Structure 1
Amino acid sequence: MGRLSRHSPSGDFRALPAWPNLRSRRRRLGDARAAFRLIAIRPDLQGQGHGAALLRLAEERAAAFGCGEVVLNAIKPALGFYRKHGYEPGAWFDIEPERDHSVRVGKRLPKQPTRPLTLVAPGLERLPDYAAAVAAGWSPDTSGDVSAAQLAAISLDPAAFLAELTRQDGIFTQASGRQVPRLPGAVFWLDDGDFCGAINLRFVSGSDEVPDYVSGHIGYAVVPWKRRRGYATRALALILPVAREVGLRRLEITCDDDNEPSRWVILANGGVLTGTRPLPGGKAKLVFRIDL
């Protein structure tokens, strides 16, 4: 199940998952099936792709837990929507009784091949998966929510969005609104057969230092439904050779002082704690060095 949330005074909306932990909120029916009660979109927000994004997220979460079928109780007027996305009514098993106003629909998911995590270049072919993750509440920028702006840019001109995402010069507007020079670097998407997140490298040519407006050489964000699989650790390991190729001898990488998972990701890749950096509100960033 999903919900839509107003997140800015301008009235923009974004799709958010309503289950922070699918293991506790979904009903598993044996090893093969996952059932969701429903997907509901406010009438004034229908027809904007939110339902499709939530349905895709439900399927990805079910597949991540090894389920081969997804079952939903759909209201009858929405049957055409579900059929469009490969769902059919039938005798799909669920532990809840079918209600008079609904029809049970289901879909068999394709068998998920086991693929090792790889870093792939952003491209138009994978952009719909990236956009679906953003629409479902994931943000590639851990310092602020850029989802509304990115979804608008993708909708306006997908090719221009990708060109801006991978630009090596010019001015960049941070989530805070501050405009700063863009650093050269490399952007990769995480892929295990599905979109898993993003990681980027930024640097100053001829130097191992980074300016104060950059939180280290490396930034990464894994989508919530692919976490706790070691993907962040593996992604960081995969980008270290890229850093060597551009001439870096050491990396600075940071994480919030209360972000224990990120701390272990950095330590697992040879990170050494060198200090802290204060943040507004009393928090601090831990600063690590990785020698290359």
Structure 2
Amino acid sequence: MKNLCIHYVLRLILMVSPLSTIAQAKQTETLEFGTIPAYSIEVTYDKTSHIIFPSGIRYVDLGSDYIVADKAADAENVLRVKASVKEFTEETNFSVITEDGQFYGFNVCYSNLPAEMSYNLATAGRAVSRKHSADVQFEELGSPASLTGLLMETLYRNNKKEIRNIKSDSYGMTFRLKGIYVHQGKYYFHIELENDTYVPFETDFITFTIADRKVAKRTVMQQKALDPLRSYRPLLPVHGQTTERNIYLLDVFTLSEGQVLLIEAYEKNGDRSQVLKVKNSDLVRAKPLEKLKLKL
């Protein structure tokens, strides 16, 4: 009877062991395949290291209290990092997600004299960046942010004029809508502001508002502000005899009868603000981006 029990135990071990080995092998293979190589940097207590990213910083997570990090003042794509504890001996890490949808990992060691104090990932090139990063999908975009960034970049570089009759021309300024594009439930608005004078136009902000075009005096109840999900470039001044362009991303919407979309460019400390009026017939003629050739 004792030998019979041992026989059954041995059979059970032989049956279970191969399955366990296969499961462990599959798990190991999956994790290795998905590994993102991390950058290695050194930090110190008395000096600050700076990392320049290709895009604005959206999220930072620190692996321990040995280090502190935050965005540099007035610089969305620059991260400051330094040690909060002198001569810590254990390696730590931190992670960063940028507005262009890239995830970066960093391994951090302490050094009294770091070999480098500043790092520029913006000039590393796409091949190097992709090796050390991964795409992140933002909920509000509905697709990987890197794809959205590529679409906006391609539209900006192509600089096509799809629309010819939507513009505002006054005070030596010309504000025009060059194109409306649509992709996966998002609008891409390509706008241009041209300064024919020698007086710089300091752009304060640009707004997108749905308004009743039949009412001359607009009120809060008669308007609905639309918040762009992102823009390709930051707001820049339009210097004398120059032109600035930008791409704005918004959720898809339509207008009811009697409504109009107002795109307004406001001048800081000035009264040369410009406004574009877009009808629903213009929105529904938006060009699809499915066949757009991306510059990878």
- Please give the range of the TM-score, normalised by the shorter of the 2 chains: under 0.3
TM-score, reference length from structure 2: 0.26
Q: Which structure dedicates a bigger proportion of its chain to helix?
A: 1
Higher Rg? 2
